[in-house]
Structure 1
Amino acid sequence: MADPSTYRPAPGAIPTSPGVYRFRDEHGRVIYVGKAKSLRPRLSSYFQDLANLHPRTATMVTTAASVEWTVVGTEVEALQLEYSWIKEFDPRFNVKYRDDKSYPELAVTLNEEFPRVQVMRGAHKKGVRYFGPYGHAWAIRETVDLLLRVFPVRTCSTGVFKRAKQVGRPCLLGYIGKCAAPCVGKVSAAEHRELAEEFCDFMAGRTGNHLRRLEEQMAAAAAEMEYEKAARLRDDIGALKRAMEKNAVVLADGTDADLLALAEDELEAAVQIFHVRGGRVRGQRGWVTDKVEDVDTAALVEHALQQLYGGASEAVPREVLVPALPEPAEPVREWLSGLRGSQVDLRVPQRGDKKDLMATVGRNAQQALALHKTKRASDLTTRSRALQEIADALELDSVPLRIECFDISHLQGEDVVASMVVFEDGLARKSEYRRFQIKGFEGQDDVRSMHEVISRRFRRYLQEREQTGEWAVPEQSLPGDGGPDDEAPGGPLDPETGRPRRFAYPPQLLVVDGGQPQVAAAKRALDELGIDDVALCGLAKRLEEVWLPEQDDPVVLPRSSEGLYLLQRVRDEAHRFAIGYQRNKRAKRLTSGGLDAVPGLGETRRTALLKHFGSVKRLRAASVEEICAVPGIGRRTAETVVQALASRQPAAFAVNTATGEIMEDGAADPGPAD
């Protein structure tokens, strides 16, 4: 535990301007990001007597080892920079609303010649009209199924659309009247786009014109005694009304607004958001977060608005209704207006329908928090017990808050790869996962592979620590130590930004997938590097035994042990990550049909050849002159390709039904070794 007085800035060194500040721990990792209208009083408040600080704030300042700040011009700039740094550094002491799922939306791809209606998730794309988000994808499909009777817009994928166009026959929806079948020319592109725009108008709340038009057509058909047509129109009207009933009117004035409500206690907070468009509730979403910093309701609202709109994945409506205004509110209002491009009304509803609807959103937030606490209580207890059981069984000084696990995977000694997965506080931290290519040798030598990957991981760790005596190293890769062959985003820890890179943080417990040989190899790698402060064990699959270095007998945990269950989860996750990488590499090698072995033929030209000829079979039948016609392929390269393919017998391929692995026919798949 650090003493905050050891890194307290000198008196008068902190400016009084608006700015954003970062606290770093002893490893240089950013653990907290904050903003202030005036930096001096805000930062000074952290360096008072610990007894006067909130317990969470006291934990943060004693965990930190340094503080730094950046001056900005306005409070709006501070708000934007704070959000950017929170997204970049993922500080452990900041409130972060973590959504537990990706919310689906109804999308109409107006950027295509023939617009398509589909369910989409993730970031918004330019030229696509979105409606939602919805709580469930099936809710979107039910709505679309009802509306296709009246607006038969295509819903098929690009591949299905092109095949129907080639064969001249529409799909089933085209035959039953739920698609206008533009693929076979039943309607023109302009007519189909008009259908898509009418569909969007209806979804946007402009329903009256469509209903009146259909009712007039129904009456006219009945007057002309075209009763079958009138019956179809009657059914269409019924379908539209049923679709409208799914989104009841909640605000009679046709308001576009987002309503945000909170439910909180001392430890956690839940936020619920209702998206109202055209006076109707078009979607709902929510998050739950740990209150790792000392914040009030106004600050939680500000964090929620950053989460909702900061990533530019959600359009800002004309009104944003909240339970409490951020302090100060004007910079947030100005920031939202800048995102929208026009004035945004950020306020607390005081009376009428909007206040009543806000109360409904608040009840949803309270129910979400109660449900979360019911689930979370057992999870927290179980994880804590699991970590304590592991510490007791392995005789560790403290519980292993960070666990790293390594696994080796190959297929008959080919495409040897390794994986590293990380669990923090008993939960997977996927942003810290790493993948390794083992290129030094081939063969089923898992012990040697384990020694190499552990050496590479911790040699890089030592290199970073010893370079300057701090947690900062230059950007260039180190040969054989997490360089280009180590599949991981980023490089080492950046001394300027403190952004986490490859192997900056050591684990408290290192787990290897295997028994005594693999544990011995890992121990030898650690000893060679002089690392003696990382606990090590191995988990063998046969009897789920836990092996320790230089021990003749394993540690046998009870089958009902939560600690054993956590170790199994860690090991299985490492296995999954390794075998997925290995299969991906093997699939790429097999689909190249032997082109990867042609000297001087890189990935770009291999792709060009396969794209030009369509398959290796057609390429094998091509002449040198035909291959030379591919851009970037010279005559010498073409002759080399012809010779290589002529000398290689085409392999038959089969699929292992147990694993889904693509294999050469007759080959046995031993799976990744322990």
Structure 2
Amino acid sequence: MADPSTYRPAPGEIPVEPGVYRFRDEHGRVIYVGKAKSLRPRLSSYFQDVSALHPRTQTMVTTAASVEWTVVATEVEALQLEYSWIKEYDPRFNVKYRDDKSYPYLAVTMGEEFPRVQVMRGAKRKGTRYFGPYAHAWAIRETVDLLLRVFPVRTCSSGVFRRAGQVGRPCLLGYIGKCSAPCVGRVTPEEHQALAEDFCDFMAGNTGRFVRRLEREMREASSELEFERAARLRDDIGALNRALEKSAVVLADATDADVFALAEDELEAAVQVFHVRGGRIRGQRGWVVEKVEDVGTDDLVEHLLQQVYGESPEAVPREVLVPALPRDSHEVAAWLEGLRGARVDLRVPQRGDKRALLETVERNAGQALNLHKTRRGGDLTTRSVALKELQDALDLPEAPLRIECYDVSNLQGTEVVASMVVFEDGLPRKSEYRRFAVRGTEGQDDTAWMNEVITRRFRRYLDERAEASDVEIAQGIDPETGRPQKFAYPPQLVVVDGGPPQVAAAARALSDLGIEEVSLVGLAKRLEEVWLPGDDHPVVLPRSSEGLYLLQRVRDEAHRFAITYHRQRRSRSMTTSALDSIPGLGPTRRTALLKHFGSLKKLKAADVEAVGQVAGIGPATAQAVVDALSAPSGAVPAVNLSTGEVLDD
């Protein structure tokens, strides 16, 4: 790893103008591209104390061996140059949005003499108009099949088109009226071009005039007693209406907009975009991105817009609705306007139909992220690879088929709880999850709490094993219930959330209990480093490693489970606080009251007689409870529990 001070530019060398900069590694490869309103403060921020930088930024500056920059005239130019360099160099530390699948488009080759309608994927071509993307190719073909009744545009390949012209006979679509047969001269190139333009106008959202025209022609044919032609026009109107029904109306004002939303965690982000044209959803698209740099939602949005519209400048709509504005929103909007050649409204919708649509897209993004994680974690081959990678990287005697992870949660040293989650064969085993209310004294820290939790868990394991008097109990089965005992099974691998201090505390607990067959590691959040007991240096797994991904899932699940329990404890603590100030009402009777009534709200609605029916609550105490809970907030009266008399202040 390079020391950033070895390639740090002198402060006076860095200009203060806007510009774009590149970090290169020792082999000269560009590993990061960024832009700045002023290059000097931005670049100087990378060369502060390395320990003060974000972990991913630390990795970037220590991987780099040099930095260079280019000054530009405006911030919009910086945005354009940054996108060009990211596309050219594909830097490893920049966010890259990659499609989670290949999306098909409906394409019309307007650049040809006889335009063709077809389904296309991949890179965009000049002279071709695109509509979509669509979720499925069959959805495009269904729509095209309906529209060819009204707009009989050519759909055949160049080879079929040439052969039909040579033999002087059109294909089947020409005979059934779903192609105007320009191959045999039934229409002129100009007439066929006009048909293709009408098709594109309809797909772009200008649908009303075509339906109105057909209705007018149908009435005229009916009035002239041309009933067969009127019936044909009626069927054409029905085909157009069925095509319109396939795309839902979401905005009544015929808005053209792209609506973006993100769902993210510490490691990845899922992006969804709905393409709305003419008030209707014309397409949907999704990406999953791995966060390889320190970025917030605003930065993710900026990079997203760069990559989406940089590749397809003709696709920029009138409105771009996003969950958060980019940090340099005015410059990004100016860049989009330059691509579109007209005004672009870049904003966050606050209310109304557009806000509701954004929330719908956000739900889709959340589901996409969950689905991505589930698919990756649920694949049998992937799980097998992950377990094998962990066995090799951690030098384990066998693959860790059972992994237990522990996390501690507290609020400034109060309400300390811990969680234990279990993954078997790479999947969560929620029936084996356990939670702990830590009994440590005030002033202790994470290491002492971790030591206590590991000690309690494995002491129970040793006790249950020692009590085993027959084969069934020795196998971890409770003879009375027939269910597995709580702590009967030892894991092959214990994971603690933390670095060397937490690992050392857990190792001491296992050593004190004489347990040697269980392997132990810690996963530190900063650089996702894996720490082994007694090692001075961590095991660094590649970010693409399935083994690291499994450890991250286990750690995140333990954190979630601990936080959930901690919130429950805090909520319960706040609930009982209304009873704490009643003189003579101790913890046991408070618990009995809440257990009997189920909630503080129901207890407040109870009268003296109902409260007095609780075991251990006498008439004087019941009266004191009712008086205290019926008093105004902050005015809990003092009560003589022997007489029930309310004492004066």
* TM-score bin (small chain): 0.5 to 0.7
* Structure 1 position 43, deviation (Å): 1.7
Is 1:254 matched with 2:244?
no
Counterpart in 2 of 1:62?
62
Counterpart in 1 of 2:120?
120
Is 1:73 matched with 2:58?
no
* Structure 1 position 30, deviation (Å): 1.6
Q: CA-to-partner distance for each residue in 1:177-231, whole Å, 9 max, x for gaps? A: 1111122222233332222222222212222222223233333444455444333
| Distance across 2 between alignment mates of 1:142 and 1:6 | 62
Counterpart in 2 of 1:32?
32
* Structure 1 position 244, deviation (Å): 0.3
Is 1:130 matched with 2:130?
yes
| Distance across 2 between alignment mates of 1:377 and 1:74 | 46
| Distance across 2 between alignment mates of 1:110 and 1:83 | 29
* Structure 1 position 248, deviation (Å): 2.0
| Equivalent pair of 1:124/1:313 in contact (CA under 8 Å) | no
Question: Which residue identity lines up with residue 74 of structure 1 in the other structure?
Answer: T
Counterpart in 2 of 1:282?
282
Q: CA-to-partner distance for each residue in 1:400-428, whole Å, 9 max, x for gaps? A: xxxxxxxxxxxxxxxxxxxxxxxxxxxxx
TM-score by length of 1: 0.56
| Equivalent pair of 2:256/2:317 in contact (CA under 8 Å) | yes
Mapping of 1:314-393 within 5 angstroms? Answer: 314-377=314-377, 383-385=385-387
* Structure 1 position 386, deviation (Å): 5.1
Q: 1:164 to 1:359 in 2, by over 3 A?
A: same
Is 1:215 matched with 2:200?
no
| Distance across 1 between alignment mates of 2:312 and 2:143 | 26
| Distance across 1 between alignment mates of 2:246 and 2:282 | 9
Q: 1:388 to 1:150 in 2, by over 3 A?
A: same
| Distance across 1 between alignment mates of 2:355 and 2:90 | 35
* Structure 1 position 361, deviation (Å): 1.3
Structure with higher RCO (Cα < 8 A, 6+ apart):
1
* Structure 1 position 54, deviation (Å): 1.4
Counterpart in 2 of 1:656?
none
Aligned residues: 396
* Structure 1 position 316, deviation (Å): 1.2
Mapping of 1:31-430 within 5 angstroms? Answer: 31-312=31-312, 314-377=314-377, 383-385=385-387
| Distance across 1 between alignment mates of 2:35 and 2:378 | 35
* Structure 1 position 382, deviation (Å): 5.2
Question: Which residue identity lines up with residue 56 of structure 1 in the other structure?
Answer: R
| Distance across 2 between alignment mates of 1:386 and 1:284 | 38
| Equivalent pair of 1:105/1:121 in contact (CA under 8 Å) | yes
| Equivalent pair of 2:313/2:340 in contact (CA under 8 Å) | no
| Equivalent pair of 2:314/2:339 in contact (CA under 8 Å) | no
| Equivalent pair of 2:108/2:200 in contact (CA under 8 Å) | yes
Question: Which residue identity lines up with residue 93 of structure 1 in the other structure?
Answer: F
* Structure 1 position 384, deviation (Å): 4.8
| Distance across 2 between alignment mates of 1:256 and 1:163 | 41
* Structure 1 position 385, deviation (Å): 4.5
* Structure 1 position 383, deviation (Å): 5.0
Q: 1:42 to 1:384 in 2, by over 3 A?
A: farther
TM-score by length of 2: 0.58
* Structure 1 position 145, deviation (Å): 0.4
Q: 1:165 to 1:141 in 2, by over 3 A?
A: same
Q: 1:11 to 1:189 in 2, by over 3 A?
A: closer
Question: Which residue identity lines up with residue 277 of structure 1 in the other structure?
Answer: R
Q: CA-to-partner distance for each residue in 1:590-609, whole Å, 9 max, x for gaps? A: xxxxxxxxxxxxxxxxxxxx
| Equivalent pair of 1:321/1:346 in contact (CA under 8 Å) | yes
* Structure 1 position 388, deviation (Å): 5.9
Mapping of 1:576-595 within 5 angstroms? Answer: none
| Distance across 2 between alignment mates of 1:97 and 1:318 | 23
Question: Which residue identity lines up with residue 333 of structure 2 in the other structure?
Answer: R
| Distance across 1 between alignment mates of 2:335 and 2:375 | 36
| Equivalent pair of 1:151/1:199 in contact (CA under 8 Å) | yes
Q: CA-to-partner distance for each residue in 1:618-667, whole Å, 9 max, x for gaps? A: xxxxxxxxxxxxxxxxxxxxxxxxxxxxxxxxxxxxxxxxxxxxxxxxxx
* Structure 1 position 31, deviation (Å): 1.4
Counterpart in 2 of 1:477?
none
* Structure 1 position 147, deviation (Å): 0.8
* Structure 1 position 26, deviation (Å): 2.3
Q: 1:19 to 1:382 in 2, by over 3 A?
A: farther
* Structure 1 position 8, deviation (Å): 2.3
Gaps of 5+ in 2: 396-545, 548-649
* Structure 1 position 61, deviation (Å): 1.7
Mapping of 1:412-491 within 5 angstroms? Answer: none
* Structure 1 position 303, deviation (Å): 0.3
| Distance across 2 between alignment mates of 1:342 and 1:198 | 23
* Structure 1 position 391, deviation (Å): 7.2
| Distance across 1 between alignment mates of 2:313 and 2:121 | 10
| Distance across 2 between alignment mates of 1:371 and 1:348 | 26
Gaps of 5+ in 1: 394-561, 564-674
Counterpart in 2 of 1:433?
none
| Distance across 1 between alignment mates of 2:2 and 2:44 | 17
Counterpart in 2 of 1:18?
18
Mapping of 1:604-615 within 5 angstroms? Answer: none
Q: CA-to-partner distance for each residue in 1:133-176, whole Å, 9 max, x for gaps? A: 21221111110001111211111111111111111111111111
| Distance across 2 between alignment mates of 1:16 and 1:192 | 57
* Structure 1 position 375, deviation (Å): 2.1
* Structure 1 position 112, deviation (Å): 2.1
Q: 1:127 to 1:25 in 2, by over 3 A?
A: closer
RMSD over equivalenced CA pairs, Å: 2.4
| Distance across 2 between alignment mates of 1:112 and 1:29 | 41
SS of the equivalent of 2:11 reads coil
| Distance across 2 between alignment mates of 1:313 and 1:122 | 16
